[in-house]
Amino acid sequence: MATWNDVVSYVRANYKVSDEGPNKLKLVFETEDLRTQVVVLWHLTLNNTEEWVQIESPFGELGNLNLAHALQQVADKVCGGIGLFGNMVTYRHAVPLDNLNINELERPLALVTTTADRLERELTGGDQF
């Protein structure tokens, strides 16, 4: 894969897309214990030259969770980090599109999804996202 259109085509062929925009794909995954997890793939540009895909999944609302505890929970993670989208605290990872191999999308996608779901369960006790 090397373009956003390639990513969109791959995701459409392999996953159920719940919402779509010019630079985003929204997916909802079923996780364990009848839980679901929202994941958004964003098409971003770095320094107006490099195209990237950001994989992002919310796990709580700002002000409603212990951020220090959340940071401790992800301190040893190799893939991803905590971000903020609007009022939602997210777990996210980004990869460059240039020369992107499928494992460079699939593995982070799975890790972001499961990590965000675990953080949501542990930090909020709910399944809002």
* Predicted TM-score of the model (pTM): 0.93
Q: pLDDT for 62-79, tens place per residue?
A: 999 999 999 999 999 988
Domain boundaries, the chain: 4-123
All residues at 6 or more sequence positions from 39 whose CB lies less than 8 Å from its CB, including other chains: 26, 27, 28, 29, 55, 56, 57, 109, 112, 113, 116
Contact 65, 123 (CB under 8 A): yes
The answer to whether residue 1 scores a pLDDT higher than 80 is no
At the topology level, CATH places domain 4-123 in Yope Regulator; Chain: A, (3.30.1460)
Give the pLDDT mean for 102-117: 93
User: Do 24 and 56 meet the contact criterion of CB atoms below 8 Å apart?
Assistant: no
How many CA atoms, within 13 angstroms, populate the side-chain half-sphere of residue 65?
26
